[in-house]
């Protein structure tokens, strides 16, 4: 088995990011879309930490901490929006929330 290098982590990050993109594109349920978004955040973070370790430079880890904080804020607002939509529509299927469609 060959040694694990930076490229292995980057490839895993790419796979994770594409799985997240797939989820965002295919899921109808708003919460499922939020779950897939978290996958994409994690892919980016994985790349940042891998670069930080192999370059090596601490700034990547600092940036990953900021990404986690912003992801927490995003998830908070996202869940609040989902609950608000659910209260008004009684479902959270994104392709049926089209009241403002022209």
Residues of span 30-89 touching another protein by CB under 8 A: 31-32, 34-36, 38-39, 42, 45-46, 49-59, 61-62, 64-66, 68-77, 79-84, 86-89
- Rank residues 82 and 100 by Cβ distance to another protein and give the closer one: 82
Q: Which of 1, 100, 101, 102 binds another protein (CB under 8 A)?
A: 1
- Rank residues 4 and 100 by Cβ distance to another protein and give the closer one: 4
Compute and round to an integer the Cα radius of gyration of the chain.
17
Give the residue among 38, 7, 36 at the shortest CA–CA distance from 24: 36
Asked if the bond preceding 56 is cis, omega within 30° of 0, the reply is yes
Enumerate the β-bridge partners of residue 29. Answer: 93
The C-alpha atoms of residue 18 and residue 1 are separated, in whole angstroms, by: 26
Site string for another protein, 7-26 (x = CB under 8 A): xxxxxx-xxxxxxxxxx-xx
Size of residue set near another protein by CB under 8 A = 79
């Amino acid at each position: 088995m060959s040694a694990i290098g930076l490229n292995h982590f980057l490839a895993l990050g790419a796979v994770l990011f594409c799985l997240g993109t797939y989820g965002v594109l295919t899921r109808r349920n708003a919460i499922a879309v939020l779950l897939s978004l978290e996958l994409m955040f994690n892919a980016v973070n994985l790349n940042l930490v891998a670069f930080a370790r192999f370059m090596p430079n601490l700034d990547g880890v600092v940036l990953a901490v900021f990404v986690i904080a912003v992801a927490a804020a995003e998830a908070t607002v996202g869940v609040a929006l989902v609950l608000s939509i659910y209260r008004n529509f009684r479902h959270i299927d994104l392709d049926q929330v089209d009241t403002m469609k022209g």
